[in-house]
Amino acid sequence: MSKRKNESQGGLVYSTNPDFTWQPENETIETLANVSQKLRVHVETKHRGGKVATIITGFVGQESDLIQLGKLLKNKCGTGGSVKDGEIIIQGNCKEKIVEVLKKEGYSNTK
């Protein structure tokens, strides 16, 4: 069981409205087609102890599809990385290689 009792209520603690009824939100985000995705690839060194990382942002869809794309990119680049907060983080400067792989996978609107 969760340590936080109101976690299933989306962070709602208390309402003073007597007519209020809580209804859970069903957030099922559909993953856009590869052609419709507007992915942005940039290289960053901030907050990483001077290490270079390539960041992919702009993915719209389910978390599982984002994780799958991150796994593909890490595999193609031969490096490590992670998926956090809707971003794919790849270790090292792999921008050109990532853009090539994304375009081959059908993500044509990639910069």
- Containing structural domain, residue 49: 29-104
Q: Among 35, 42, 32, which Cα is nearest to 108's?
A: 35
CATH code (residue 35): 3.30.780.10
Q: Is residue 70 part of a domain?
A: yes
Express each pLDDT in 40-85 by its tens digit: 999 999 888 889 999 999 999 999 999 999 999 999 999 999 999 9
Supply the pLDDT for residue 72. Answer: 96
Count of domains in the chain? 1
Average the pLDDT over each of 10-14, 71-75, 84-88, 93-97 and give the range with the smallest value: 10-14
HSE (side-chain half, CA atoms, 13 Å) at 16: 0
Instruction: Specify which residues 40 forms β-bridges with.
Output: 57
Residues 6+ apart with CB under 8 A from 37: 58, 59, 60, 61, 107, 109, 110
Please state the pTM of the whole predicted model. Answer: 0.74
Q: Is residue 95 part of a domain?
A: yes
